Structure 1
Amino acid sequence: MGIFKDTGWKKVLAIIMSIVIVLSLTLFYYVRAQISPVASGDEAEDITIDIPSGSSTNNIAKLLKDNNIIKNKYMFTLIVKAQKKDGKLKAGTYTLNNGMEIKDIIDELSKGGKSDNTVRFTIPEGYELGQIAELLNKKGIVDKDKFLKLSKDISNFTNNHPVLKELSTGMTLEGYLYPDTYEVYKDASEEEIISKMIERFEELYTKHIKSKATKMNMDLNRVTTLASIIEREAMLDEERPLVSAVFHNRLEMDKPLESCATVQYILGERKEVLSIADTNIESPYNTYRNPGLPPAPIASPGIESMKAAVNPADTDYLFFVANGDGSHTFTKTYKEHLKAKNKNQN
């Protein structure tokens, strides 16, 4: 009888386990189907929607479902809450594609959409403070003089941006207004716009650069200054680590960087060919006369140049010369450098 009972219970347990497995698999495939994109391939299409100000996550989920952008509004709401973005989705006009994954839709809604009350602008990589102020002034977004006055002293923003406390007193924001595309309210003040750009720099620096910089014993100013020179010297992303390696190698050997970009910064213009007189200008930013890095950045570097600054290529290169097409020829000796330079001039 004991054997029969044991066998009977085993059968019951086996049946229960089978049911649990079947239900789990059913639930798994159901959830996966419900959170998958509505369409794929050629069937996917862009859909423009307006999310009113003050919309709750539930309201946004219903709006997305009604417009055929998601399959299941309840699943969308659960994922938003799981990502701790409940209440953080923003109003505005969005053009979404019903071939998008839910996580990508949430990311877009977290950034904020277009609005009649906002304006977008893009700051190119390698722009200097003066160029940024001029661009925004021309677009009617800021008063150039006020923007520059605020940007000339980091103490105007250190209270709200801890990253700036790593810099020396009296420094400007040159290099720390991150080049990116922004959307701001039309009545946003110069302070608010500058803060938004510093915040973006702080976000990327903390996420991608700070840890490696610490390991390399490079402080914030050193990283950003080197990255700004790399930004102005290199046009191709794949060459940025090589340019970085040249500068790292020269710094280790106490050789002047001899960067044309630093002299152009002194001149206030981007001369394609520098004269001997240009390279002899007395300035702490003149890397032809002075070994080491300049005292501060010369432009706003993008993330690829910042990454290159702390991730130089493993190479013995000490020189590079522009090829005229955006690329460079890298060499190890001065003799090789002269050969490459003469070749490009002929």
Structure 2
Amino acid sequence: MKMIWKIFIVFLIIIIVGGLGSKYYYEVNTKPVVTDGEIESIEIEIPNGSSTEKIASILEENNLIRNKNIFRIVSKIKGTDGKLKAGLYEIKATMTPEEILDKLVEGGTNSSAVKFTIPEGYTIEEMAERLSDEKIVDKDKFLSLTDDVEKFAEDYEFLQDVPDNMNLEGYLFPQTYEVYPDTSEEDIIRKMLDEFNKIYVKKLKGESFKQNLNINELVTLASIVERESKMDEERPKIAEVFYNRLEMEMKLQSCATVQYILGERKANLSIADTQIDSVYNTYMNVGLPPTPIASPGLDSIEATINPEEHDYIYFVLKKDESGKHFFTDDYDEFLSVKNSN
């Protein structure tokens, strides 16, 4: 009996020592290769289709991690297996495996990648034109896909408020993108929808908005703010002008909505332009258009979520070329400034 007890004690000690040893081994190998001092970044390339094992080997060969097996364990614990992206990376030996994994999930650059920029306030038609000119998409195919909201609605919750028979206008987020030369039109559209989804999750999902606007209505108003604003600091004030008009059931009379109908950004609209029979004509119809008129940027979306409170219902561009607007709640004052321009 004493012998069995001694064996048990020895076995328990081995387990404890082994556990402590494993813990120490893990902690040591999850530290940076270099723990102090300044050190330059090392450029590495992660090839397409690389597994976590392959990536760990590349990092170990470049002395950026202490142990490739521990790196794979950390990746499993973080749940990043299968999420590490190919590309060129600048990595320092002072980074921990977790920090390196975060960088690899975010994605690097690629020498064969193609970059394109979609400015704030672009319409889908303008996007298609630019991407076609840059040989990135087939214009007709791109436009055809953006007309098919149902194709994407199941994967993107924010599209559920888009009225039937409308397109993805307003939801292809404007920013700089990087794609491979053979990336399909659908994948490019999804990439842009993914970026809008990040804004949706952070800023819009589950939130209540002024005048109980739904997501589509909020993005529609944000798109008008985008096209009417020249200065970022004025966006919240312009948003409130339109909110005030909506509350009064006053026509928005946004030139940008008529420009959307015309398909061109005319500096001055004619009387005939403002009388075009269209659901997008806010000179003829009370309330918001059925869908956005362009893709609003983050500043316009945030301005529409949090407008600046005031009683103004008119604004007009100042004649001093500052890009700023004059705001008022007095129609005669509005006309006076407008006619002096």
The two structures have a TM-score, normalised by structure 2, of 0.78
SS of residue paired to 2:206:
helix
Structure 1 residues 209, 273: CA separation in 2 closer, same or farther (over 3 Å shift)? same
**Aligned partners of 1:35 and 1:102 also within 8 Å:** yes
Hey, what's the Cα distance between the residues in 1 that align with 2:237 and 2:33? Answer: 42
SS at structure 2 position matched to 1:50 = strand
User: Once the two structures are superposed, what CA deviation does each residue of 1:163-187 show, in whole Å capped at 9, x if it has no partner?
Assistant: 3233222111111111122222322
Which of 308, 326, 330 pairs up with 2:327? 330
Unaligned stretches of 5+ residues in structure 1 = 1-26
Deviations 1:65-115 (A, max 9, x none): 776878998997787566533442211112457898987755442232233
From 167, 177, 181, the equivalent of 1:186 is 181
The share of aligned pairs that are identical, in percent, is 51
Q: Which residue of 1 aligns with 2:250?
A: 255
* Distance in structure 1 (CA, Å) of the matches to 2:336 and 2:253: 18
Seen in structure 2, the aligned counterparts of structure 1 residues 208 and 271 have a Cα distance that, compared at 3 Å, is: same
Amino acid at match of 2:235: R
| 8 Å Cα contact 1:175/1:298 also seen in 2 | yes
Change (3 A) 1:213 1:333: same
- 1:157 is aligned to 2:157: no
* Equivalenced residues, count: 313
Secondary structure, in 3 states, of the residue corresponding to 2:225?
Answer: helix
Range 55-64 or range 329-338, more displaced: 55-64
Q: How does 1:276-287 map to 2 (within 5 A)?
A: 276-287=271-282
Whether the aligned pair in 2 keeps the contact of 1:45 and 1:99 (CA below 8 Å) is: no
Deviation at 1:37, TM superposition (A): 9.6
Distance 1:253 1:38, change over 3 A: farther
Cα offsets for 1:272-318 (capped at 9, x unmatched): 12222222222221112221111111111112211222211122121
- 1:212 matches 2:212: no
Please give the secondary structure, in 2, of the residue aligned with 1:121: strand
1:203 aligns with 2:198: yes
Alpha-carbon distance, 1:254 to partner:
0.8
Q: Please give the per-residue CA displacement for 1:311-340, whole angstroms capped at 9, x wherever unaligned.
A: 111221212222333322222322332344
Which residue matches 1:341?
338
In the other structure, the counterpart of 1:311 is: 306
Counterpart code for 1:337: F
Deviation sequence 1:15-52 (CA, Å, 0-9, x none) = xxxxxxxxxxxx9xx99xx5699789xx6756432123
Secondary structure of the residue aligned to 1:341 is helix
Flag structure 2 segments of 5+ consecutive residues without an equivalent.
Answer: 1-23
Residue 210 (structure 1) shift: 2.6
Q: State the match for 2:291 in structure 1.
A: 296
Label 1:176 to 1:76 Cα distance change in 2 as closer, same or farther (>3 A): same
Alignment pair present for 1:120 and 2:115: yes
Q: CA deviation at 1:154?
A: 1.1
- Residue matched to 1:227: 222
**What is the CA–CA distance in structure 2 between the aligned matches of 1:37 and 1:212, rounded to whole Å?**
45
CA distance in 2, matches of 1:327, 1:52: 49
> C-alpha separation between the residues in 2 aligned to 1:162 and 1:62?
39
Query: 1:252 Cα shift?
Result: 0.2
Give RMSD over aligned pairs.
Answer: 3.4
Answer whether contact 1:155 1:170 (CA < 8 A) is retained: no
Alpha-carbon distance in 1 for matches of 2:240, 2:67: 51
Give the match's secondary structure for 2:205: helix
Correspondence 1:321 to 2:313: no
Equivalences for residues 131-150 of structure 1 within 5 A: 131-150=126-145
Distance 1:86 1:171, change over 3 A: same
**Residues of 2 paired with 1:106 and 1:39: CA distance?**
20
For residue 261 of structure 1, report the CA deviation from its aligned partner.
0.7
Q: Distance in 1 between matches of 2:91 and 2:327?
A: 44
User: Paired residue for 2:264?
Assistant: 269
- Structure 1 pair 56–146 and aligned structure 2 pair: CA distance change class (3 A): closer
Instruction: Describe the shift of the 1:47–1:244 C-alpha distance in structure 2 as closer, same or farther (beyond 3 A).
Output: farther
In terms of mean alpha carbon deviation, does 60-69 or 161-170 score higher?
60-69
Superposed CA deviations along residues 209-237 of structure 1, whole A, max 9, x for unmatched, are 23334675221220111011011111322
Aligned counterparts of 1:180 and 1:173: Cα–Cα separation in 2: 16
**Partner residue in 1 for 2:15:** none
Where does residue 19 of structure 2 map in the other structure?
A: none
